[in-house]
Structure formats: C-alpha cells, structure tokens
Amino acid sequence: MDNRPIGVFDSGLGGLTAVKELVRVLPGERILYFGDTGRVPYGTRSRETLIRYTREDIAFLSSQGVKRILIACGTASTVLDAIDPDPLIPVSGVLYAASRRAVAATKNGRIGLIATASSIRSGLYEKIISSLLPSAEVVSRATPLLVPLIEAGRIHPGDVVCETVVREYLAPIRDAGVDVLILGCTHYPIIRGIIAAEMGSGVTLIDAGAAAVEEVKTSLENADALSDGRDPGVSFFVTDFPEGFAAVGSMFLGSEIAGRTVKIDLSEKFTAH
C-alpha cells in the first residue's frame, strides 16, 4: 500500500482527459495535476525545448512527493527517452501504451495516427509500432487546428467548423483503409464522437491517455502500491491564468474545479538543471 499521490502533467488542459479516466478506474487515489499553461503549446516546440520543459515539469511533481508520474501529453512523451528522472519515481508517457493497444486491435495492419506536429515529426509512433508489428503501415497526420478548436468549446456534433476541420484532416487517413486510429493528443477524446462519425463504425479509436492510465493501474496493482482509499481527490497546479484553466478544465473533467487551482512559478524552485 502507498498513499502518496499520483502525479500527472500536460502542457495545458488535454491531460485532464487522462485524469478523468484515472478517477474512474482508480477512485481511491489522490491525484496531483500540473498544467504548464504559461508555456503552452508544446506541440510547436523544438526537441531541446521540450526536453527542458519536461524535466522541469517532472521536477515539480517529484517535489510534491508523488509515487508515480504520468506524462499525459503526447508531445512531451516523445522526449521521455532523453529524461533522467528520479529512479525511485517511475515515469511513463502515452506513446508505448497507445501503440501496444493499437497493434492489439488492428486486423489489417493499417493504423492511423493524428497528433501534434512535434509528435508526428518525431516518428516515434511509427518506430514503436514497427517494433511490435513489423508489417504494420502507419498513416499519420499532424492536426494543429484541433487543440484550439477544442479549447474554444467547438466540441459538439453539428458544429460546422469542427466537423469541417476533422473531415479535412481525416479524409486521407480514412481513404487509406485503416481499421485503427490513435488519438495521439489527450485533447482529442473530447471530440471522440465527431471523429468516430467521420471514420465510421469499422475503425477502432485508441485513446492514448486512457491506454496509459490502464497501464499505470496495472503497474500499481502489481507493485502493491495502491492507496487505502481514505483521501481521494484531485489537486490542480498551473503556471499561468488559473481562472481560465478552471473554466475550460471543468468542461474537460465534467465537474467544477473553480477555486481548486494553485498557480506556481517553476523558475523559483523547481527548475531542473
């Protein structure tokens, strides 16, 4: 048994979909969520900048006494190989979990992927999937307009703008005959219904955050590191504009988080060198 909290971070709001899943599958756990809202977006940053940001995010959560860290950000997960975290605090991202689930789900070996420009540019999904299923064909596309649309609340079926953008992005992936589509950014499950309608019933959608959460759950169970369930709940930390985070974050979580968000300054104490 381990009553320390689980740490989760993202560049902003998207990781809240993973938090929502964590609360669902591990309702007895205490969760600390950190959104780097002062430096969002990560999706357009260089690899060097991403490594620095990710190290600093991990350093902050480690300072809070967490037992495990989930990088609920597809972009930051692409630099996990370059991070040297505290060996006593396991750190995992979303890429491997999503890739494993996609390989297990595909029947024809054609896997679609939508993600940020940095995630696509890294080529890591293709590398991981190829190592698991050498015959697989990955059809990927960067979808940079989806995050701002989602954060602007353009998320409901029937929203002409969102549906038009989704249709344009997904057309070449759908036409390639994929039978699995990885939602490689944790924002995307918010518009899962719109994406599913565009891809059709024959395509399995893989939520990268949910896949990673399931592996975190299994890992904690195997290590006998679940909490006793006496102090569950979620605490929120951001680097800028907590009021805006709370307003939009409530939409992501499906519950009100106003008044529960603390602003912190990474430069004062938690910067990783």
**Mind telling me the catalytic residues?**
73, 185
- Biggest alpha carbon distance in the chain? 51
At residue 182, the 3 state secondary structure works out as strand
Written as six digits, the tokens of 121 are: 């540019």
**Are the C-beta atoms of 69 and 62 separated by less than 8 Å?**
yes
The backbone torsions φ and ψ at residue 164, rounded to the nearest 5 degrees and listed phi first, read -65, -45
User: What are the two backbone dihedrals, phi and then psi, of residue 209, each rounded to the nearest 5 degrees?
Assistant: -65, -45
Q: Which residues pair with 32 in a beta bridge?
A: 7, 235
Percent composition of the chain: helix, strand, coil (DSSP 3-state, to 5): 45, 15, 35
> What is the token pair recorded at 82?
């370059």
Q: Are 68 and 219 within 8 A, CB to CB? A: yes
